[in-house]
Amino acid sequence: MSVFQKLAPYRIIRGFLGEELVEQLLAYVQDSQDGFEPTRVGSGENARMDPEIRTSVVLPRLGPLKKALISRFDAVSDWAMEDMKLSPLSVKLQEVELVAHGDGAFYSRHIDTQMQNPDSSRLRVLTAVYYFHASPKRFSGGELRLHSFLLPEHGGHYQDIEPERDMLLLFPSWAPHEVRPISCPSGAFADHRFAINCWYHATGA
């Protein structure tokens, strides 16, 4: 199988933060509901809303939980880079955002590495997504679909990864992926698919 037909590596860590932090996060998003804004695609001056590509809402702040969360996200990147054979590139956590997907929300196939940015020190190398929806889960769909470079009709492959409560998923930022459409019949904000996106930038080899 050619490199273009293969999936990028990925890693899953279950029980990543523990129930206490999950409940604190759910309380935080519920309290902060008014601060969520529509997500955008592109970056810098190209950033724009595009409901054909991405529909969800984002909160750019982690609030009082920021310190506890950042230290946990910081602590996994060296292991993840090494285990996925992405080292010796060093990375540093540089961007964090909290995203909610409600009924009908999705994010079509994309990569997270932003190519229009010429400064390679700001390059997204590693993506981590932490899932923390309410229990019992009241949405379906919303799988993270990890793609090979080639589409299935050209011999490519994909793998659907189910978001589980308190699970961290890590993969290279340049791997094509998508969020499959969510069905959340209640429409209640508390029942949305909640995730924290983390992007680690290259700091050198």
Ligand X SMILES: O=C(O)CCC(=O)C(=O)O
Q: Is 112 in the site for Fe ion (CB under 5 A)?
A: yes
Shortest Cβ 88–ligand X spacing (Å): 26
Shortest Cβ 57–Fe ion spacing (Å): 16
Residue placing its CB nearer to Fe ion in the complex, 138 or 181: 181
Q: Which of 25, 55, 57, 112 binds ligand X (CB under 6 A)?
A: 112
* Structure token pair of residue 134: 């309410």
Interaction pattern, residues 134-153, with ligand X; x per rule: CB under 6 A? ----------x---------
Shortest Cβ 96–ligand X spacing (Å): 12
Strand 144-147 to 193-204 pairing? unpaired
Size of the site for Fe ion (CB under 5 A): 1
Per-position b or e across 80-117, b if 16+ CB within 10 A of its CB: bbeebebeeeebebeebebbbbbbebbbeeebbbeeee
Residue placing its CB nearer to Fe ion in the complex, 24 or 113: 113
Residues 38-77 that bind ligand X (CB under 6 A): none
Shortest Cβ 57–ligand X spacing (Å): 12
Residues contacting residue 127 through CB under 8 Å, at least 6 positions apart: 112, 170, 171, 172, 173, 175, 197, 198, 199, 200
Other beta carbons less than 10 A from residue 19's beta carbon: 11
Q: Is 200 in the site for ligand X (CB under 6 A)?
A: no
Q: Is 166 in the site for Fe ion (CB under 5 A)?
A: no
The Cα 13–Cα 154 span in angstroms is 32
Per-position b or e across 34-48, b if 16+ CB within 10 A of its CB: eebeebebeeeeeee
Size of the site for ligand X (CB under 6 A): 9
Q: Which residues bind ligand X (CB under 6 A)?
A: 99, 107, 112, 129, 144, 177, 179, 195, 197
